[in-house]
Amino acid sequence: MARKNKENKNDKVLTLKRRLLAHLSPKDPVAEQYRTIRTNIQFSNVDQEIKTLVLTSSGSAEGKSTTSSNLATVYAQQGLKVLLIDADLRKPTAHYTFRLENHSGLTNVLTRQSTLDQAVQETEVRELYVLTSGPIPPNPSELLASNQMGTLLKELKQQYDIIIFDTPPILAVSDAQILANQVDASILVVSSGKTDRTAALRAKELLTNAKSKLLGVVLNNRKIDGGNYYYYYGGN
């Protein structure tokens, strides 16, 4: 039993390392790819500063949360004040990734049960802050579409250099579309060998219908020379 517990603990450490590779292994080739994604985003539109960004995927387990966490990390490593918001109010994961409490978060702020200052948490990454999901609500879409969400966005833009929203898969629920309509830009995350082409095209269509500026697609889990690489393709 002790050996099994030790193995489970090691598995959790390895999972955490994979999720926060940009912080724990900054010289890894995959970490460099996250920095490339950051650079491509920054140069994607020189006429408009991108401060708010939605990341979504067509389906589950395609890497959007891992991409969101690592992208937020490399922005913070650049010296920017970054807020990662877990806007997946159905299956949140950011509190696991960063080993944070999730008693109070986005849902508490939107329902005015907590202030933003009370809900935002520091992380071990300098200049990176996280607003966890908070308790899972019965009405996620309505909360994200509320006037309070618009008010919160205005407040966030005054306090942070960049705000990244990790949202649910866009084909499953409307949450990502709702937020994509309110932020500066969006990115679609797809998984090599897993994401269906038709599903990816439908996800792109939904983001376009939401009048979101789709910057491009992150393709992850592409096997090259025995490693998992993440590539960013600009343009939509």
Please give the distance of CA 42 from its chain centroid, rounded to a whole number: 16
135: burial class by Cβ within 10 Å (0-12, 13-18, 19+)?
Answer: middle
- Residue 13 has a pLDDT of 42
Query: What is the three-class DSSP state of 172?
Result: coil
Domains with residue ranges and CATH for the chain: 2-234 (3.40.50.300)
Q: What is the CA radius of gyration of the chain?
A: 17
- Residue 231 has a pLDDT of 55
Tokens of 154: 């205005």
- Residue 194 has a pLDDT of 87
- Residue 5 has a pLDDT of 46
**Full-model pTM:** 0.88
Tokens of 87: 């806007």
Digit-by-digit pLDDT tens for the chain (236 residues) are 444 444 444 444 444 545 788 888 888 888 899 999 999 998 887 678 899 999 999 999 899 999 999 999 999 999 999 999 999 999 999 999 999 999 999 999 999 999 999 999 999 999 999 999 999 999 999 999 999 999 999 999 999 999 999 999 999 999 999 999 999 999 999 998 889 999 999 999 999 999 999 999 998 877 665 555 555 555 54
The count of other CB atoms within 10 Å of the CB of residue 138 is 7
108 within 8 A of 115, measured Cβ to Cβ: no
